[in-house]
Amino acid sequence: MKYHVNEKRAIGKRSPMLYGHFIEHFHRQIYDGIYDPGNKLSDEEGFRKDIIEAMKKIKVPVLRWPGGCFVSSYHWKDGVGENRQPFFDKAWRVEDPNTFGTDEYIHMCRKIGCEPYICTNAGTGTAEEMSDWVEYCNLKNEGKYAKWRIANGEEQPYNVKYWSIGNENYGNWEIGAKSSEEWWRLVKEAAKMIKHVSPIVQLSAAALPDIDWTMSLLKHCGAYLDWISLHGYWDMLPEKNELADYNQCMAYTEQVDRAVLDVKGLLTALHLEGKIKIAFDEWNLRSWHHPNVHTIEQGIDSKTYLVPRDKNDDNSSYTMADAVFTACFLNAMNRHCDIVGMANFAPILNTRGCIYSYKDGLVLRSTYHVFDLYVNRLGDIVLDGWEEGEKNTITVFDKNGNQITTDTLDILATQHSRTGKISISVVNKEAEKKQKVKICLNENQKGRYRIQKYQIAGKSVDSYNDIDKKDVFIEGFPEEETDGVYEAVLLPHSINVFDFERIR
Ligand code: AHR
What single string gives the DSSP state of each residue in 427-470? EE--SS--EEEEEES-TT--S-EEEEEEEE--SSTT--EETTEE
Q: Is the pLDDT of residue 462 over 90?
A: yes
Instruction: Categorize the per-residue pLDDT at 491 as very low, low, confident or very high, splitting at 50, 70 and 90.
Output: very high
- What amino acid is encoded at 31 in this protein? Y
What separation in angstroms does the CA of 487 have from each of 4, 52, 414, 483?
12, 39, 18, 11
Assess whether the C-beta atom of 76 lies below 6 angstroms from ligand 1.
no
Q: Report how far residue 156's alpha carbon sits from residue 138's, in angstroms, rounded to the nearest whole number.
A: 9
Distance 413 CA to ligand 1 centre (A): 32
Q: Report how far residue 82's alpha carbon sits from residue 388's, in angstroms, rounded to the nearest whole number.
A: 65
Closest CA to 171 of 183, 156, 187, 157: 183
Distance 100 CA to ligand 1 centre (A): 20
DSSP letter for 349, please. Answer: B
- If you take atom 9 of ligand 1, which residue's CA is the nearest one? 68
Q: Are 481 and 449 in contact (CB under 8 A)?
A: yes
Q: Residues 6 or more apart from 171 whose CB is under 8 A from it? A: 177
Instruction: Categorize the per-residue pLDDT at 301 as very low, low, confident or very high, splitting at 50, 70 and 90.
Output: confident
Residue 19's φ and ψ, nearest 5 degrees, are -105, 40
Reported as a single tens digit per residue, the pLDDT across 318-376 is: 999 999 999 999 999 999 999 999 999 999 999 999 999 999 999 999 999 999 999 99
Instruction: Categorize the per-residue pLDDT at 394 as very low, low, confident or very high, splitting at 50, 70 and 90.
Output: very high
Spell out where 260-397 has E strands. 277-286, 340-345, 355-358, 361-364, 381-388, 393-397
pLDDT of residue 331: 98
What average pLDDT score do residues 102-108 get? 98
Q: Is the pLDDT of residue 299 over 90?
A: no
Q: Which region among 10-19, 201-210, 248-257, 437-446 has the lowest average model confidence (pLDDT)? A: 437-446
Q: Which region among 48-62, 144-158, 298-312 has the lowest average model confidence (pLDDT)? A: 298-312
Reported as a single tens digit per residue, the pLDDT across 143-167 is: 999 999 999 999 999 999 999 999 9
pLDDT of residue 337: 97
Q: Is the peptide bond before 238 cis (omega within 30 degrees of 0)?
A: no
Average pLDDT, the chain: 96
Instruction: Categorize the per-residue pLDDT at 504 as very low, low, confident or very high, splitting at 50, 70 and 90.
Output: confident
Mutate to test the pocket of ligand 1, among 70, 94, 167, 236 (most ligand atoms within 8 A of CB): 167
What average pLDDT score do residues 18-28 get? 98
Assess whether the C-beta atom of 98 lies below 6 angstroms from ligand 1.
no
Distance 68 CA to ligand 1 centre (A): 5
- If you take atom 6 of ligand 1, which residue's CA is the nearest one? 68
Assess whether the C-beta atom of 281 lies below 6 angstroms from ligand 1.
no
Distance 168 CA to ligand 1 centre (A): 8
User: Can you give 116-136 as a three-state secondary structure string?
Assistant: EEEEECCCCCCHHHHHHHHHH
Q: Report how far residue 201's alpha carbon sits from residue 203's, in angstroms, rounded to the nearest whole number.
A: 6
Using DSSP bridges, classify how beta strands 361-364 and 381-388 pair: parallel, antiparallel or unpaired. Answer: unpaired
Please give the domain boundaries of the chain with CATH numbers for all domains: 2-9+380-502 (2.60.40.1180), 13-377 (3.20.20.80)
Q: Report how far residue 188's alpha carbon sits from residue 179's, in angstroms, rounded to the nearest whole number.
A: 14
pLDDT of residue 207: 97
Assess whether the C-beta atom of 385 lies below 6 angstroms from ligand 1.
no
Using DSSP bridges, classify how beta strands 340-345 and 277-286 pair: parallel, antiparallel or unpaired. Answer: parallel
Q: Report how far residue 29's alpha carbon sits from residue 323's, in angstroms, rounded to the nearest whole number.
A: 21
Q: For residues 293 and 42, which has the higher predicted lDDT (pLDDT)?
A: 42
Atom of ligand 1 nearest to the CA of 26: 6
Q: Are 225 and 204 in contact (CB under 8 A)?
A: yes
Name residue 414's beta-bridge partners.
382, 423
- Please report, rounded to a whole number, the percentage of residues in the chain having pLDDT higher than 90: 95
Q: Report how far residue 66's alpha carbon sits from residue 102's, in angstroms, rounded to the nearest whole number.
A: 9
Residue 294's φ and ψ, nearest 5 degrees, are -80, 10
Assess whether the C-beta atom of 60 lies below 6 angstroms from ligand 1.
no
- What amino acid is encoded at 337 in this protein? C
Q: Is the pLDDT of residue 440 over 90?
A: yes
Neighbours of 308 (CB within 10 A): 17
Instruction: Categorize the per-residue pLDDT at 169 as very low, low, confident or very high, splitting at 50, 70 and 90.
Output: very high
pLDDT of residue 447: 84
Closest CA to 435 of 480, 375, 376, 394: 394
Instruction: Categorize the per-residue pLDDT at 445 as very low, low, confident or very high, splitting at 50, 70 and 90.
Output: low
pLDDT of residue 304: 87
Q: Report how far residue 398's alpha carbon sits from residue 404's, in angstroms, rounded to the nearest whole number.
A: 7
Q: Is the pLDDT of residue 446 over 80?
A: no
What average pLDDT score do residues 3-14 get? 95
- What amino acid is encoded at 12 in this protein? G
Report how far apart the first and last C-alpha atoms of the chain are (Å, whole number).
26
Q: Is the pLDDT of residue 296 over 90?
A: no
Q: Report how far residue 115's alpha carbon sits from residue 125's, in angstroms, rounded to the nearest whole number.
A: 24
DSSP letter for 82, please. Answer: S
3-state secondary structure of 70: helix
